Amino acid sequence: MDQDSHCTAERELLEAASRITTSSTTSPSDEEGNQPKAEISCQARKENLEKDDMQDSSATLSPNSSMTTKELQEYWRNEKRQCKQIKLLFEIPSTRIVEHHLSKYVMYKIIILQTGSFDSNKSVIERRYSDFEKLHRNLLGEFSEEMEDMTFPKKTLTGNFTEEIINERKLAFKDYLRLLYSMKYIRRSKKFIDFLTRPELQEAYGCLRGGQYTKALEILLEVIGLQERLTRGNPVAIVPTLCAIVVCHKDLENSASAFEYGEKALSRLRAHTSHRYYIPLLETMITLAYELGKDFLSLQEKLEEWKTKKDPIRVFTLKELAVREYVQ
């Protein structure tokens, strides 16, 4: 009798799990339900992106019917962890006025935090009014429907540096970033991501080109975490930054750290062997593995395999590729 009860309970749990799977693939998410009307109106225009999103986020498999009750419970716990969306919060706690010989402007300090838990890797950037204005203008060109009801703080001829105007803009820019991030097509757009990361990356690559590897590495390590969270559905997007970190560590003779970040970059290129960074990264990893006494034969085999499939072409070194990024 006890055994029959156990089997019945297990069947009920499996049936419930099946209903959850069906429901989760057909019901709109809470996020989409709360999206602004303007975003929903362009759903058909972004149909392909929606399919990509589903492929990126649904690495889940249907539970095997032969699972025990305990295994099934563990399966759903793991699925819940994997499907939990990373969300970011934007705070603008302070400002500073910058004065040059011929110009004066306000810099807004933006703190970007991850929700759901204590975020020890918060990102801190600074942007001025003209940076926000340029972002708004660029986004309007691509997402006019989504942004038709959004307001942007207007320029004033006088009073730009009064405490009242600065505080108003702090609140307005905070709400503005929050609204932009709430629309998934905008938060995944290159224009939005560039606004949050490009100035720092440009500075870092400038330091790299100037041989200031310690300073470049410091900036790159600060921005890589934010880049990862912003490009979660496109892991290849951060490969150039990872490779720049490899170059800095290598030139600073931190071979172990260089190899560690090189492995992260290679893992993102497994299905992208035609990527311009793939062969230069492989060659660098072979050198590092040899220096560290690690297995380099498997890396060498990948390199030889690639060479037999591709026509011989000129390939830049990893460092040569890195110094070409963000060249004005």
Structure confidence by residue, pLDDT tens digits, 190-204: 999 999 999 999 999
Contacts of 153 (CB under 8 A, 6+ apart): 129, 132, 168, 169, 172, 173
Structural domain includes residue 81? no
pLDDT at residue 186 greater than cutoff 90: yes
In a domain, 77, yes or no: no
Domain boundary among 167, 188, 209: 188
Query: For 6-39, what is each residue's pLDDT tens digit?
Result: 444 445 444 544 443 444 334 333 444 444 444 4
> Are both 246 and 310 inside the same structural domain?
yes
221 in Cβ contact with 258 (< 8 Å): no
**Residue 325 DSSP SS3:** coil
Same-domain pairing of 297 and 182: no
For residues 283 and 261, what is the distance between their CA atoms, to the nearest angstrom?
A: 14
Flag whether 235 is in a domain. Answer: yes
- Same domain, residue pair 285 and 307: yes
Alpha-carbon span 57 to 25, nearest angstrom: 12
E-strand spans in the chain? 88-99, 104-114, 123-128
Output the 3-class SS for 137-188. HHHHHHCCCCCCCCCCCCCCCCCCCCHHHHHHHHHHHHHHHHHHHHCHHHHC
Instruction: Return the number of other C-beta atoms located less than 10 Å from residue 43's C-beta.
Output: 13
Ranges 18-32, 81-95, 127-141, 249-263: which has the least confidence:
18-32
In this structure, what is the dihedral angle of CA atoms 272, 274, 317, 265, given to the nearest 10 degrees? Answer: 0
The three-state secondary structure class of 124 is strand
CA torsion sign, 201 to 207 to 208 to 209?
A: positive
Query: What is the spatial distance between Cα 240 and Cα 277, in angstroms, rounded to a whole number?
Result: 7
115 and 211 housed in the same domain: no
| Inside any domain, residue 103 | yes
CATH of residue 117's domain is 3.30.1520.10
For 33-62, how does the pLDDT look when each residue is reduced to its tens digit (9 = 90+)?
A: 444 444 434 444 444 444 444 444 433 344
CATH of the domain at 213: 1.25.40.10
pLDDT attached to residue 313? 67
| Among 132, 165, 188, residue at a domain's last position | 188
Range of the domain at 93: 88-188
- Asked if residue 11 is part of any domain, the answer here is no
Residue 70 token pair: 């305990």
pLDDT at 47: 47
Q: Which residues pair with 106 in a beta bridge?
A: 97
Q: Are residues 316 and 282 in the same domain?
A: yes
Domain count, the chain: 2
Banded pLDDT at 127 (limits 50, 70, 90): very high
Do 207 and 297 reside in the same domain of the chain? yes
Same domain, yes or no, for 148 and 241?
no
- SS3 (DSSP) at 232: coil
Residue 266 near residue 276 (C-beta atoms within 8 A): no
* Least confident span in 157-171, 172-186, 194-208, 257-271: 157-171
Final residue belonging to a domain, choices 158, 188, 218: 188
Q: What share of the chain is helix, strand, coil (3-state, %, to 5)?
A: 60, 10, 30
Tell me which DSSP letter residue 104 carries: E
Tell me the angle at which helices 163-182 and 129-142 cross, rounded to the nearest 10 degrees: 30
Cα–Cα distance measured from residue 35 to residue 40, given in angstroms and rounded to the nearest whole number: 7
The structure tokens 């949050």 sit at 196
Mean pLDDT for all residues in the chain = 80
Q: Which pLDDT band holds residue 232 (cuts at 50, 70, 90)?
A: confident
In this structure, the answer to whether residues 181 and 247 fall within a common structural domain is no
